[in-house]
Amino acid sequence: MPKQFYTERDIEDMVARGQMSLIVNDDVVLTDLAFERANRLNFKLIQAHQKPPAAPVRPYMSEEALQKPSPTPSQQTIPAVDEDLRERIRKAVKAKLGDQVDPNLLETIITRVLNNVGVN
């Protein structure tokens, strides 16, 4: 069976005729503008699984996957802070800038950067 395409104008014509719903199946294609116009005019698009037109099927977003709780930060494995890493960063900064950087400020910056990249 050939596909039926509906545009924004088709939706407006249906509403003008008093039709307020359309059964959408695999043989019905709505343009993006038609989908948006139907939503704005409270035109009901009836189908088994509500999704925007031409939306790809995303198996990784299935209902089972969406219902699984994500692990809390305490459950995730976070690498421990390696004091050697902090020391190597300090030495590299001192090699570049010498004594131009306040040690307390440098420590604050190192901590902030390591936290931002996920190393606590």
- Residue at 45 is within a domain: yes
> Of the candidates 16, 36, 54, which is a domain's last residue?
54
The number of folded domains in the chain is: 2
pTM for this predicted structure: 0.39
pLDDT at position 26 is: 84
Q: In this predicted model, what pLDDT tens digit does every residue of 14-65 receive, in sequence order?
A: 999 999 988 888 888 999 999 999 999 999 988 756 555 566 666 665 555 5
- Residue at 11 is within a domain: yes
> What is the average pLDDT across 64-92?
66
Same domain, 87 and 49: no
Residue 88 sits in which domain range?
83-116
Same domain, 13 and 50: yes
Mean predicted lDDT score pLDDT of the chain:
79
- Residue at 96 is within a domain: yes
DSSP labels, 53-120 = TTPPP-GGG-HHHHHSPPPPTTTS--PPP-HHHHHHHHHHHHHHHGGGS-HHHHHHHHHHHHHHTT--
pLDDT at position 65 is: 52
pLDDT at position 7 is: 94
Residue 67's pLDDT band, with cuts at 50, 70 and 90, is: low
